[in-house]
Amino acid sequence: MTHTPSRRTVLLCAGTGAAALCAGCGGGGDDGDSSAASSGQELASTSDIPIAGGKVLTDQKIVVTQPKTGEFKAFSAVCTHQGCIVSDVRDGTIDCACHGSRFAAADGSVVRGPATKPLPGKEITVEGNSVRLA
């Protein structure tokens, strides 16, 4: 199903320089359960995930974080506010450039709205230097 962003969403995204990130924006606040990634798929190398940061995997619609050294977490990269793909991970938060929502990199909880629901977690395993979808 294709979502068409509202005029307001397009204007807000253009104003933040993030129009390309908002290509997935739409109404309804997708809960992130649908994913392009499959079980067992390698998502990233552990060395690709900075400590106290993370990496947004746009194609798989997953964000992988490393809140503490050697502790890896994964969440849906679909913002629970309007369905945009989150833009980056920094300073302990997963940030969505479309409307400014921020989520905790440690557990996906909402740090700043307008989103009111946390990012759904994704099950992962770490095998050697490989972060994989469980």
**Mean pLDDT, to the nearest integer, of 39-47?**
89
Supply the range of the domain harboring residue 116.
28-133
Per-residue confidence at 92, pLDDT binned at 50, 70, 90? very high
Residue 9 pLDDT greater than 90, yes or no: no
CATH of the domain at 112: 2.102.10.10
Contact between residue 48 and residue 18 where contact means Cβ atoms under 8 Å apart: no
pLDDT of 41 reads: 85
Pick the closest to residue 75 from 48, 93, 99 (CA basis). 93
| Contacts with 71 (C-beta within 8 Å, 6 or more apart), sequence order | none
The Cα–Cα gap between 20 and 114 comes to 20
- Domain for residue 119, yes or no? yes
pTM confidence score: 0.72
The Cα–Cα gap between 107 and 86 comes to 15
